[in-house]
Chain A
Amino acid sequence: MSAASVSVINRSRQFASAILLGASLLLGTSSATFAQDSENSQSVSDQIEDLKKQVLSLNRDLLILEEELLYPANSQVAVYLSMDVGEFFELDAVKVHIDDKLVASELYTEHQVDALFRGGVQRLYLGNLKTGDHRLTAFFTGIGPQGREYKRAAEVSINKETEGKVYELKIVDSTVKLQPVFEIKEWQL
């Protein structure tokens, strides 16, 4: 490399360095500002956490109050949905009927299906039911094995007395049949 070009490069680097030095000085100023802010925000973070906790406790009380007010234990019926593995069925929607009346329906997003797939359980319906005989029917829609559209139903009879009823709609993979199985399980309270 010639002396002239070395000189050019050196001058160029000085120029670039000056620009970048300016930028770095500015960044230095900014870091001091943020360090100061960080201390102030510590107490704000504590306040936020404290408030979050308070609101969570309040939310808990409100949820309990709501349930006692709207769904007393003696008339309550709850329906949950779970999925075991779900390799053979890609869930799109669920509809729940009690005595041929639609009481709950859900179109599932990818996130919801993923949450179910990973072991989450969805509270699908919470309502009231009079004493006597009833019929709970669930319709499942989605994509089944070989990418075919799949629609199935499961049904259970309810003999409602004075205690609450809890049902779990279960989508289970049958490794024997290589297809999904839809069940309704009654939980003993």
Chain B
Amino acid sequence: MATVAAKTLRLSLAAATLSVCSLAAEAAKKEALSSVADLSYGVTLYHYFQNDYFNALSELYVAKERGGIQGHSDNPAIIEGGISLAFGMHNTASDLFNELLADESKPTSVKNAAWLNLSKLAYQRSQWSTAAQSLANLDAENASHLVNIERLALQTNIHIHQDNLQAAEDSLNLLIESKGKKDPTAWPYYLHHNLASAYGRNGNFSQAISHYQSVYAADLTEYSLEPDLQLALRDKAHTAAGFSHLALNEYEAAQAEFNQVRLVDGLSNQALLGSGWAAYGQEVYGDAIRPWQELLRRSLFEPEVQEASLALPFAYEKMGAQGEALLAYLDAENTYESELDRIDTATRALSDIALLPLLNIEVDRNSNWLNTPELVEAPIINYLQRLVTRNQFQARVQELRDMQALIEELTVWEQKLTDYQDLNQARTEQRAQQDLEIQNRDYDTLIQTLAEQKATVDTEISRIRSEEDYFALATDPDTLDLIKRAKRSKALAEKAGDLVSPRKQAQAKLYWGILYWQQSQNFHDNLWTLEQQRDSLAREISTVKDSFDRVMDASHNAPDIIPMQQRLDQAEADIAQKQDNLTQLLATIENELRTELLAELEQQKLRVRFYLAETKLSIARLYDTRPIDGDLLIDTNEQETHSLPEVSPGSGNSDINGNSIIDDDTSALDSAPQEEGSDDA
């Protein structure tokens, strides 16, 4: 069941990824790629397409805070739901899709996307009937091609989990018919494999083999899957098909399947082991020995190698090479005892060792951390490698990565906020300096003085208007000089009285009169101009006063600095709190991982003990069957004569180089031999 659950999880994760990608691609297709109506939407996609879900969601959150993304219809909501799903925020995604469905006005395409994703969410939670129900709500007739392909793929997987294999077959056939010849979707490969595994679990090995063969029947295609993935999937299918043939006692067919598996990755261990048993079944013990010897060159951490250690001497026995058999049993005994010691050492080490540095997830969240060189030296890393192939463990590691990534984000913000605090402090100091400067320059008094002077001008203008003081508005220096002289002449003439001739007096009055007349002519224009200038001055003084008041307000209340300071302080506190929460959660997950690892070690120990016990029994059996004449079973001089053909790595089973990225934790691979064992037991 663990294997089934693990497989389910992996496939569902793949489904989620493919689905979100296709939805985003569909969303993007509806418009020219360059014509994003809202740049935030484009930035979200940019992060999302690089699997940077955190920044993609952050961009969406910021856009929502600023009024939402405009001009992209419902795509942002679908994208947010999809990214939330990919980022492991299942409840959030579920809420978002349900919100979309609750709105009657949403178009069918949006509702279909929501139903599909809700179905996936239920699938990931192993709620098969809910997943099926959500899928049934999808309007298949009006769904796009991509959505329909995903719907059929998901439906097939759901049927498999519900053990309705005929319905799963039907869905898969429908998918293959619908996809068209040129559609590069990889779904059929996965689904054939899943279906084959399900048949294998049910003991229907013939059907299982048929579907495994479908996995590798198609040509290697350039677009459907990454080449490594295709080859890895083929290895997996060949191996599982081989074990299925073994279960049916079809040894030659099994051998043929195992021979197709590349020798380059972890999966080849199972193929080599199976290949040995296939030859053994045909009683060609020499051929059984070759793959097992190859296995024995590999790490004893692998269960297949452990099994081969015991199987090899058994084959020697069958060949009548009792001496070699005993030697090999003794070697196996030593090896198993050493392995038990190693497991004990690793178990003790695990109690003290910090797992997170060992997992090395902080180096690069996208790296293949188990391949990091320093980890290879770690005492328990080989056991970790066994664990990492399990999806439950991978899910935990993904959670750890997410937590670690969040902590790193917050650490970056923590450092930034320190700088921003400094920046704000510098602004505060600059503001204080400006405040001092304002005080020194006494702008307040200056403005007051200006206002007083303006009041004086007002009074004067009022007087000129009321008294109609025409001469008061003269500004031309020549005119002013003439007025001065005329005034003086008129005053002198009046003062001199009869001493000045009437003609001169009249002349003085005339000049005065002319000037008076001239000024009176311009008086109203000049007065109007003057009053305009006065009003303008009043406005300018008012503006200056307002500016000054604002500066003083900014200086005293610092509307840009004090609130920012408060926000910065609050943000620092929030960051510290979230970091604490994350660290605690990280410790919880680490402890869970430790428990899993201890359980893994315990399983290893049980398995090795079992093999050790079998080995000891076999050794005892061989000693018991020692020839009566007392000949030694082990004659070192005779060992050379019993030497068996050596195999070179890669002979027979290897064809293409490549590294598998698919784990060995498949139900198909495990189920065939287990079924066989169970039947015989």
Contacts and interface: CB of A to CB of B under 8 A. Distances in A.
Interface of A: 5, 8-9, 12-24, 26-27, 29-31, 33-35, 37-38, 40-41, 44-49, 51-66, 68-70, 80, 82-85, 111-112, 114-123, 166, 168, 170, 172, 187
Given A111-B50, A119-B42, A120-B48, A19 B34 contact: no
Contacts of B677: 16-21, 23-24
B413 A44 contact: no
Given A22-B607, A35-B1, A47-B585, A41 B42 contact: no
Given A34-B2, A53-B92, A80-B42, A22 B610 contact: yes
A55 B578 contact: yes
Interface residues of B, number: 90
Contact of A45 (B46, B399, B409): B399
Given A19-B310, A58-B571, 4 more contacts: A21-B678, A30-B600, A34-B392, A59-B54
A107 to B, nearest CB: 15
Nearest to B2: A31
A52 B87 contact: yes
A44 B681 contact: no
Given A84-B34, A121-B45, A187-B39, A60 B674 contact: no
B400 to A, nearest CB: 10
Nearest to A31: B2
A114 B25 CA distance: 12
Contacts of B592: 37, 40-41, 44
B647 interface: no
Given A30-B599, A44-B585, A49-B90, A58 B574 contact: yes
B627 to A, nearest CB: 20
Contacts of B318: 8, 12
Contacts of B614: 18-19
A183 to B, nearest CB: 9
A51 B578 contact: yes
B3 interface: yes
Given A19-B307, A56-B58, A37 B42 contact: no
A20 B680 CA distance: 10
A16 B62 CA distance: 62
Interface stretch (B97-105, B276-284, B470-478): B276-284
Nearest to B607: A26
Nearest to B403: A48
Given A44-B592, A58-B571, A115-B45, A51 B36 contact: no
B5 interface: yes
A57 B34 contact: no
A118 to B, nearest CB: 5
B548 interface: no
A55 B39 CA distance: 23
Nearest to A116: B46
A173 to B, nearest CB: 10
Interface string B131-151: 000000000000000000000
Contact of A82 (B42, B47, B283, B596): B42
A121 B420 CA distance: 28
Contacts of A120: 42-43, 45-50
B88 interface: yes
Interface of B: 1-3, 5, 24-25, 28, 32-34, 36, 39, 41-43, 45-50, 54, 57-58, 61-62, 65-66, 87-92, 277, 280-281, 283, 303, 307, 310-311, 314, 318, 392, 396, 399, 402-403, 406, 409-410, 413, 416-417, 420, 423-424, 564, 567-568, 571, 574-575, 578, 581-582, 585, 588-589, 592, 595-596, 599-600, 603, 606-607, 610-611, 614, 670, 673-674, 676-681
A69 to B, nearest CB: 6
Contact of B406 (A17, A23, A29, A55): A55
B62 A64 contact: yes
A154 B41 CA distance: 24
Contacts of A45: 88, 90, 399
Given A21-B681, A30-B599, A166 B39 contact: yes
B62 A51 contact: no
Nearest to B570: A61
A58 B575 contact: yes
A53 B34 contact: no
A37 B58 contact: no
Nearest to A117: B33
A154 B176 CA distance: 48
Nearest to A16: B277
Nearest to B395: A41
Contacts of A12: 280-281, 314, 318
Contacts of B88: 45, 48-49, 52
B43 A24 contact: no
Contact of B89 (A27, A49, A114, A123): A49
A43 to B, nearest CB: 10
Contacts of A49: 88-92
Contacts of B314: 12, 15
Given A56-B61, A121-B42, A19 B311 contact: yes
Contacts of B283: 5, 8-9
A62 B467 CA distance: 68
Contact of B58 (A9, A24, A51, A59): A59
Contacts of A19: 307, 310-311, 610-611, 614, 677
Given A27-B2, A48-B402, A56 B45 contact: no
A15 B554 CA distance: 89
Nearest to A122: B46
A119 B67 CA distance: 22
A45 B410 CA distance: 20
B45 A52 contact: no
A37 B36 contact: no
B607 A118 contact: no
B678 A58 contact: no
Given A19-B307, A121-B46, A41 B599 contact: no
16 contacts: A9-B283, A17-B676, A17-B681, A19-B311, A20-B673, A27-B670, A38-B392, A45-B88, A49-B88, A51-B582, A55-B409, A59-B54, A65-B568, A80-B39, A118-B24, A118-B28
B303 A23 contact: yes
Contacts of B680: 13-14, 17, 21
A22 B90 CA distance: 38
Contacts of B399: 44-45, 48
Contacts of B424: 69
